[in-house]
Amino acid sequence: MCLFCSIITGEVPSYKIFETARTLCFLDVFPAADGHMLVVPKKHCIDLCGLAGEELADFSAAVQKACTLVKTRLKTADYNIICNTGRYAGQIIEHLHFHIIPRKEADGCLVQKAGEKKSEEYYSAQAALLQK
């Protein structure tokens, strides 16, 4: 059983923020910033493609609720929503989860690095590949 499934069943304790019939939100035990939360579906799936219909709607609503808590309870309008999907993207636990990371000025939490601008040919080729 994966770590998040164990948290969902209560086998592993967590600092639960809220729960729905299909989703759980809890604090990250290795927070990048104060209030760093994880939103996970109760259904074990590795990525967003594993959810559909009501499961996907409930998960999306839970992510929105977590973002609302950042604004209303933590009093900051700034946050990152991060989903690492797959080993090369940095996914450590193979269970879909979104990180909700509240941000403050000069908090030192670097979550993305900008790449370099590419050629027009590059963008045309990438767009053609994705549009097929």
SS3 of 6, please? Answer: helix
> Contacts from 77-85 at CB under 8 Å and sequence distance 24+?
78/102, 78/103, 78/104, 79/103, 80/111, 82/111, 83/48, 85/46, 85/47, 85/48
Task: Look up 97 and say whether it is catalytic.
Answer: yes
Total Cβ atoms within 10 A of residue 108: 7
Single out the catalytic residue among 36, 44, 95, 97: 97
CB 23, CB 42: distance < 8 Å: yes
Q: If you count them, how many residues does the chain have? A: 132
> Under 8 Å CB-to-CB from 6, ≥6 apart: which residues?
12
- Active site (catalytic) residues: 97
